[in-house]
Structure 1
Amino acid sequence: MIYEIANFFIQMSESLPFFRLVNYITFRAIMAALTAVIFIFLFSRHFILFVHRRCLLDQVRETGIDSAFDKRGTPTMGGVLIIGAVLCSMVIWGNWRNPFLLCSLGGMLWFGLIGFYDDIAKVRRKSGDSGMSERSKLILQGIFGLIFAWICVGPYSPLGPELSTKLYIPFYKHPIIDLGPYLYGLFIFLFLIFVSNAVNITDGLDGLAITPTIFVVGVLGIFAYVEGNKIYSAYLYYPYLREAGELTIFGAAFVGAGLGFLWYNAYPAQIFMGDTGSLAIGGTMAVISVLLKQEMLFPLLGGLFISEAFTSQIQDKIGVRWVGRRIFYRAPLHHDLQHRGIAETKVVIRLWIVAGILALISLATLKLR
């Protein structure tokens, strides 16, 4: 809104230097982050009270960890706040003609709606294990995956025909292979589903998922700034993506929303993000990674989410179903650490530290190529 209004006044008169600020990505990114934080602070208390009155409370799953039952009755669906803050910020500071922004917002809303329906189903059935079926979730996630893959490899790809099907890896300047539209489309489809569910699995302790999310989206925002700048991308040997800089503003809004949400989600949590938040965050991170050609950076940058997902899947699919016994004491990773006697707050902070270190290493790949 402000972006369009400011550009309208710039066209009307050349003597309005203040309005030129909106054409600087750094200025809009800072303002977008501040807007998202303010939104969270203004509406969180009212939203928490609303959720309490509607009895939209968390339905605790059986994990074998006694401390988990202390959280019964905590308001859930806090992801609505995160999505609302990002949307509000983008309405004010975003360029809604930018295809990178539209794809990212589409991913956030689609996956957020899947999570919202899942949260509602759990509340209605009064069970944390009675939400949407795994098959239904995968089908709905897959629909968006197919649409997004078609956009990325098709004639309307925001990446352009030269880059749309090429695969990049960290620490190497050039694409390692051109997968072609079908293989790369399949890769995008699987990547999107895996990353969105990895964040969902990680969201199990107060504040655990949101801080690594801030690290991951913050780093991807820096990559967007580099790749969207012709000079910086050429200097660092990254593909130049003409309109990708808008993702810096989107990422800044997400970071602001995450910081504001952490205020209420830190131990002891006043509200949980629920599947509404975790699926929206996962879908958003996956979409941004694909748009920036940083899919192969995510195993490093989002290493915490990857390890949480793998421990959960190994325990369930291989240990319980195939071998017939548990491989880990508990799964995913954070519950295994709790089972070993580490306090919840210490588990969360230590995993934050790991996520922060991985983010710093990922930043180093900007130059170490």
Structure 2
Amino acid sequence: MLVLISDWLSQYLSFFRVVDYLSFRAVFSMITALVLSLVIGPWMIRKLQILHFGQVVRNDGPESHLSKKGTPTMGGIMINAVILVTALLWCRLDNWAVWIVLFGLVSHAAIGFADDYLKVIRKSPDGLIARWKYMWQSLAALVIAVTLYCVAKTPNETTIVFPFFKEWSFDLGLLFIPFAYFVIAGSSNAVNLTDGLDGLAIVCVVMVATGLGIVTWLTSNVNYADYLYIPYLPGVSEVVIICTTLVGAGLGFLWFNTYPAQMFMGDVGSLALGAILGVIAVVIREEFLLAIMGGIFVLEAISVILQVGSYKLRHGKRIFRMAPIHHHFEKGGWPEPRVIVRFWIITLMLVILGLITLKLR
């Protein structure tokens, strides 16, 4: 929206042409999202308290979490709203990639809202029935996958790329659709599982979004894409703005979510943030890079799969003290802040590793 206004004003004052620059809009979109979050945050907390949208804590979880009961939840509404408003302000709205990524955000936010609403308001212990929840996630992911396949104009847009190997890449064809679906649905659920400790998920999301933002910028630049042997995708440049917006909104939410948290994001936040990371990775053709940078998300998801599989196949025997794995370390005596910070450090190292793979191709 601001780009259109600046294009008109630049006819009279050349200064407004600066808004055309991607770097300018990337920086100011992050600042806008951060400021909006910090301003809205206190009001959001009070509103959630008035509505009695308090966190529901499982009795079989770590004892230290019992004190979190009643803490305002569903703060993801603020994150999603800030991302949406800021993106609409600073992105070029004629870019197809922007609308696909935002659809991923809004659709999964709606699913997460329904799940949170049933847990918090209707007092349903499990929220949205698992099969219904996954069905709606699958539908949203398939819509995105099919749309991306239909709008693809070059093989680069459906090519699978492997880190470390510049020669290992090929056009997926119709297999792009199930592959993209798996990445988006998997990313959404993985971030959802990671969101169990104060500030853990949101900082990991911010770090991964930063890494993906850098890669998106490189992918949209023909010189860097050619030099790094990554697909050149000029149409995805505006996704950089969404990445920086996500960073700003995430940091703003962290102000209120840092230990001890004043507000939780809930499924309305975690499902949407996971989905948006997955959609961005698919759009820029770096799904495996997302798996590397978001290694903590992958580890959390795998720990749950292994725990459930072991419980069913080994007649009640568990691998971990509790899953997801961050609770395993809590049960082992690690204080919550220690688990959080160490997982942050691991994510930082993985994001750096992911960026290094670009040079090693």
The question of a shared fold, defined as TM-score above 0.5 by the shorter chain, is answered with yes
Contact persistence 2:293–2:351 (CA under 8 A) = yes
- How big is the shift at 1:7? 1.4
1:37 paired residue among 9, 34, 49:
34
1:321 paired residue number: 312
* Structure 2 equivalent of residue 170 of structure 1: 163
Name the counterpart of 1:254. Answer: 246
1:69 matched to 2:85: no
Q: Report matched runs for 1:140-159 at 5 Å.
A: 140-154=136-150, 156-157=151-152
CA distance in 1, matches of 2:192, 2:247: 18
**Of 75, 98, 102, which residue of structure 2 is paired with 1:101?**
98
- Supply the AA of the counterpart residue of 2:162: I
Map Cα deviations across residues 256-298 of structure 1 (whole Å, 9 max, x no partner). 0001110100000000000011000000000000001001112
Aligned residues: 360
Q: Distance in 2 between matches of 1:22 and 1:211?
A: 29
Q: Given that residues 166 and 175 in structure 1 are in contact (C-alpha distance below 8 angstroms), is that contact kept between their aligned partners in structure 2?
A: no
Normalising to structure 2: TM-score of the pair? 0.97
Kindly indicate whether the alpha-carbon contact (under 8 Å) linking 2:75 and 2:264 is maintained by their aligned counterparts in 1: yes
Q: Give 1:125 deviation, angstroms.
A: 3.0
Distance 2:280 2:39 in 1: 28
What's the CA shift for 1:353?
0.4
What is the aligned-residue identity percentage? 39
Query: For 1:43-73, what per-residue CA distance to the aligned partner results, in whole angstroms no more than 9, with x for missing partners?
Result: 1101110110010111112343100111000
How far apart, CA to CA, are the structure 2 residues paired with 1:97 and 1:204? 37
SS in 2 for 1:153: helix
Task: Supply the AA of the counterpart residue of 2:146.
Answer: W
1:166 shift after superposition? 1.6
Counterpart in the other structure of 1:353: 345
- CA distance in structure 2 between the partners assigned to 1:35 and 1:5 by the alignment: 17
Match of 1:187 in 2: 179
1:308 aligns with 2:308: no
Q: Which residue of 2 aligns with 1:83?
A: 80
In 2, the alpha carbon distance for the partners of 1:109 and 1:175 equals: 34
Pairs within 5 Å for 1:1-369:
1-10=1-10, 12-13=11-12, 16-127=13-124, 129-154=125-150, 156-157=151-152, 160-181=153-174, 183-316=175-308, 318-324=309-315, 325-369=317-361
Partner Cα distance (1:296, 1:41) in 2: 34
Aligned residue type for 2:302: F
**Distance in structure 2 (CA, Å) of the matches to 1:24 and 1:178:** 32
Aligned residues: CA RMSD:
1.2
- Matched AA of 1:180: G
**Alpha-carbon distance in structure 2 between the residues aligned to 1:331 and 1:137:** 20
SS of the counterpart of 2:200? coil
Q: TM-score with structure 1 length normalisation?
A: 0.95
Q: Check whether the contact 1:40–1:81 (CA below 8 A) recurs between aligned residues.
A: yes
Most deviating of 262-271 and 129-138: 129-138
In structure 2, do the counterparts of structure 1 residues 309 and 33 end up closer, same or farther at CA, with 3 Å as the change threshold? Answer: same
- Residue aligned with 1:125, SS: coil
CA contact (8 A) 2:108 2:275 kept: yes
User: What is the deviation of 1:175?
Assistant: 4.7
CA shift at 1:176, angstroms?
A: 2.5
1:282 maps to a residue whose letter is: G
